[in-house]
Amino acid sequence: MIEFTYDTNAIEGSTLTLRETALILKENMTIAEKPLHMHLDAIGHRDAFEYMLTIAEPGNPLTERRIKELHTLVLMNNAEGRGVYRPYPVMIQGSKQMPQPPYLVPVQMEALVAEYEDMKRRQHIISAIAEFHLRFEGIHPFIDGNGRTGRLIINLKLIKHGFLPVNIKFADRDKYYTCFDKYFGEENSANMLTEMLLGYQIAELERYI
């Protein structure tokens, strides 16, 4: 949980180190010269991670309500934006893709959640999880916290299907961003993210063993 919190927040721009993240989450310490919002982001993600574990049971379907609940915990630092779909257009940092207008977000999210069952039937579960994540981030349903929420959903789905949770490393950020270019570009393929998740899963299994 501590490693995941450090890496997922670092991908979004947090400058907390792994040690500082551990001190905040385990010792309730405040790190001098680090902004309050970074502390809240760490605490919020810890709470969301723990909540994710409680709902990661087989047969417990992922719904829009569950996604909003996870986001509410992640976005501890933004009272107005927590758990609600964005009311205005946004740009995705580091991406050429422009998300759809806000009035289409509820329709797209409803369709994505419904179509996940078909994704699972026509491909390996890891591929389905990768495709879901790419499409979720493409919709960019919330004003902030989409990446952190999306990566929690990856692990929620992995655990529900009997896999170990994985941690997309800050060191792999550029490769992770390239996955979106591959999916939303001419290739229109989720293979790169699928291979990343498989690699992380194998590494976690080996560490666990």
Per-residue pLDDT of the chain (209 residues; tens, 9 = 90+): 999 999 999 999 999 999 999 999 999 999 999 999 999 999 999 999 999 999 998 888 899 999 999 999 999 988 889 999 999 888 776 566 678 899 999 999 999 999 999 999 999 999 999 999 999 999 999 999 999 999 999 999 999 999 999 999 999 999 999 999 999 988 889 999 999 999 999 999 999 99
Give yes or no for a contact between 154 and 129, defined as CB atoms under 8 angstroms apart. yes
> Which helix (H) or strand (E) is 158 found in, with range?
helix 146-160
User: How high is the pLDDT of residue 187?
Assistant: 86
pLDDT at 95: 61
- d(C-alpha 38, C-alpha 97), whole Å: 27
Quick check: 202 and 127 in contact, CB under 8 A?
A: no
pLDDT of residue 134: 97
Instruction: In whole angstroms, give the CA distance from residue 148 to residue 122.
Output: 27
The alpha carbons of the chain give a radius of gyration, in whole angstroms, of: 16
The yes/no answer on whether domain 2-85+97-208 falls in CATH 1.10.3290.10 is yes
**Rounded to whole angstroms, how far apart are CA atoms 1 and 120?**
27
Give the whole-angstrom CA distance, residue 141 versus residue 104. 9
Q: How far apart are CA 148 and CA 75, in angstroms?
A: 9
Helix ranges (DSSP H) in 28-99: 36-55, 64-74
